A = this chain, B = another copy of it.
Amino acid sequence: MTLVDRVLLGPGPSNPYPEATAALGAPLLGHLDPEFLRVLDETCDRLRTVWGTANARTLPLSGTGSIGMEAAFANFVHPGDVVVVAVNGLFGERMVDVASRYGATVVRVDHEWGEPVDTQRVLDAHGSPAIVAAVHAETSTGSRSDIGELAAAVHERDDRALVLADCVTSLGGIEVKIDEWGVDIAYSGTQKCLGVAPGLAPFTVSERAWAARVPKPPTWYLDLGMIGDYVSGGAGGGRTYHHTAPVAMIASLHAALGRILDEGLDAVFARHELAGRRVQDGLEAMGLELFARKGNRLPELTTVNVPDVDSATVRRTLLERYNIEIGGGVGQYASTVWRIGLMGHNARLERAELILAALRQVVYR
């Protein structure tokens, strides 16, 4: 069987770090094996470093990134709670859907796509929400929002309100400082800047959010109390089996986090910055127009307006001729925006030069 070898420069998954791929193929361990539990503990420790948190409740959930969003609302929305959601792209939109399913009274604050979240408008939307939710790095638009500013403003007004942040496309690529910012609930995915295959959702919860959680959420699989008894040990100290952990994926995340911390977080962020700026400068030099607002562009995910060509044809040509995947846009921007990700192991200058060169060939020759 011939294996297709793609360069994954879309909005994720990205090509994993080599260490992550090697760990996937290592001998499997049982989910209760002391050797595996050591790997799990170390994975949670490494996640704390990357999240910038001391939260005891920091763990990888057993599903892809979206399961993080589901767990966040399922465990912290009490029916009737007011949840203010900043919507500036698809994932804010999705938060509205998920929060509503768990019985929230959702107050949505719509922004134009490509714009960052406006802290003052979010504050003004409701005087005493239970939860204020926003996306740090909008995967649909390539725009970064200032979660630190938002969290500080929310807590300054009302210290009971919880701040919930989607960090799926930010964790491991740009700075995330859960404790310093005062974020209470956050989740991510492994297939973006963390450089692992999709399949896990890193999750973290502050002590005050933990104390305010729904004691028995409608979901069994994502009941954080029960999961915590396995991952961190229960009240009696011992670990209680909940569900069989995806051991191979956790070993892979463990290896990728080891690689990231060996390189150093600051160096990893600088690498994302360098590669992202190179591709953004190069696209502009080609005469293309970037989509996300200047000053809020994510280095790891660049959005660019499609010039006068057929978007799908260009993407198909990139895939067929060069084995390069880039993403189309989302919703009304499906055929007018391209999304180019330089995430994790792909956040390198050689990837930036490659996509610029390939696009030049396909679009201008």
Contact residues of A with B, CB < 8 Å?
3-6, 8, 10, 12-13, 15-16, 21-22, 24-31, 33-35, 62-67, 69-70, 74, 94, 97-98, 101-102, 189, 191, 197-199, 216-221, 242-249, 319, 325
Residues of B within 8 A of A242 (CB): 66
Question: Given that A27-B5, A28-B8 are contacting pairs, would A63 and B66 also be in contact in the complex, using a CB cutoff of 8 Å?
Answer: no
- In the assembled complex, how far is the CB of residue A186 from the closest CB belonging to chain B, in whole angstroms? 17
Residues of B within 8 A of A319 (CB): 33-34
A4→B31 contact, CB < 8 A? no
Q: Please, how many angstroms separate the alpha-carbon atoms of A24 and B22 in the complex?
A: 9
A13→B27 contact, CB < 8 A? no
Q: Which residue of B13, B30, B35, B66 is within 8 Å of A10 (Cβ)?
A: B30
B94→A220 contact, CB < 8 A? yes
User: Closest residue to A6 on the B side, CB-wise?
Assistant: B29
Q: Please, how many angstroms separate the alpha-carbon atoms of A31 and B22 in the complex?
A: 21
Residues of B within 8 A of A3 (CB): 26-27
Q: Please, how many angstroms separate the alpha-carbon atoms of A222 and B23 in the complex?
A: 28
User: Closest residue to A98 on the B side, CB-wise?
Assistant: B220
Q: Please, how many angstroms separate the alpha-carbon atoms of A172 and B191 in the complex?
A: 29
A13→B28 contact, CB < 8 A? yes
B28→A197 contact, CB < 8 A? yes
